[in-house]
Amino acid sequence: MTSMTIRAAWALCLPLLLAACVRAPEDRLPSLKVDPARVEVAGLSAGAYMATQSHLAWPDIFSGAALVAGGPWGCAGGQLTTALGTCMKGTPAPDVDALVTQAREASAAGRLGPLDALARSRVYVLHGKDDTRVAANVSQAAATFYDTLRAKMPALASMQVTWDGDRDFGHNLPVAASGDDCRTSVAPYLGHCGFDAAGAIFKQLYGPAPMPAKAATGELRSFDQNRLRPDGRDAFLADTGYAYVPKACMDGAACGVLVVFHGCKQNVESVGEAFVREAGFNRWADAYHVAVLYPQTRASFAPLNPQACWDWWGYSGAHYDTREGVQQQWLLRALAALGVPQARVDLKQP
């Protein structure tokens, strides 16, 4: 083979070799036609704490929150020891009055959103009687937090708060199927309890189902979470997140958005796609015409977060539970990318 032939062969092969070495980029989030009155947030355990943080950070975006086995906003106060004690074991119980005062002060300072916007909110707090990880009085404090806000702020008289704490299940998200893991807390933390928690969450946040929920027929899409880093800052998330998009939403129908935050050790790296496929949200998403956003965390030892929890005690920075927190800033960008109108407005504000 002549040198010219060799050079020609390399010219043809080198691009193919480089393509084989470079990881193909993940999909972006689809831009949807979003009904701004139907944007909600939900979460389990650490994800429930993240949900209430998101609800208070962006009450102008979220019109409701569902909290499963989680406590009130601001519970940990930036201290891991408080998180593990007061905010999980409930000894001592969270000081709800103090937390409400702190929330109102943070809102007045612009670190949380305008709390008057909570007037349109529906709040659903779900807790299993057999939960040995998070004490019942901690979840009860979450409901009491919203009730106390409503009592102290006349503008919130129309806010709806529902406490559901008399069901027999452990520290998990119950699903409609039955099995022997309902009262335990084992991966993937979906308890086969004969109770469809996802369906109850949709009903509480969006109202009665417009049609029966059948098998999910939409598309579960992955997307590159790093594209959404605020100003390039690390939000301590996995490379890849997930979104379930019903066919109607992809075809241009006006749709709602439900953000669902997984619990600790429930991210895709830990349990595969069990949570994002089998928790029950996707089939209800089809019935309600709601896209479901499943952001994903990553485990780390610096900062210390070996169980891939959402930040509800301060590992990502001092402002973790406000709209200044890096995970909240990331979330705002994800919602804007999905097409949530108010998220795009908030992004432009200083």
For 318, how many CA atoms within 13 A lie in the half-sphere containing its CB?
Answer: 1
Residue 291 and residue 335: Cα distance in Å, rounded? 11
Is 131 annotated as catalytic?
A: yes
Tokens of 77: 């106060």
Secondary element (H or E) of residue 257: strand 255-261
Torsions phi, psi for 50 (to 5 deg): -65, -35
Is the CB of residue 347 less than 8 Å from the CB of residue 336? yes
Which segments of 216-304 does DSSP mark as H helices, in order? 247-250, 268-271, 274-278, 281-288
Choose among 104, 105, 142, 327: nearest CA to 233.
327
Count of helix runs (H) and strand runs (E) in the chain: 12, 12
Query: Residue 15, preceding bond cis, omega within 30 degrees?
Result: no
Report in angstroms the alpha-carbon separations of 112 from 64, 73, 195, 330. Answer: 16, 11, 34, 15
Is 171 designated active site? yes
CB-CB contact of 148 with 100 (8 Å): yes
**Which residues neighbour 328 within 8 Å (Cβ) at sequence distance 6 or greater?**
53, 54, 57, 58, 322
CB 291 within 8 A of CB 243: yes
- How far, in Å, CA of 20 to CA of 38, rounded? 43
Has 224 been annotated as catalytic?
Answer: no
DSSP 8-class letter at 226: G
Task: Give me 229's structure tokens.
Answer: 């880093």
Q: Which of 55, 127, 171, 262 is catalytic?
A: 171
Which one of the listed residues 54, 63, 131, 316 is annotated catalytic? 131
Strand partners, 126: 68, 164
Active site members: 45, 131, 171
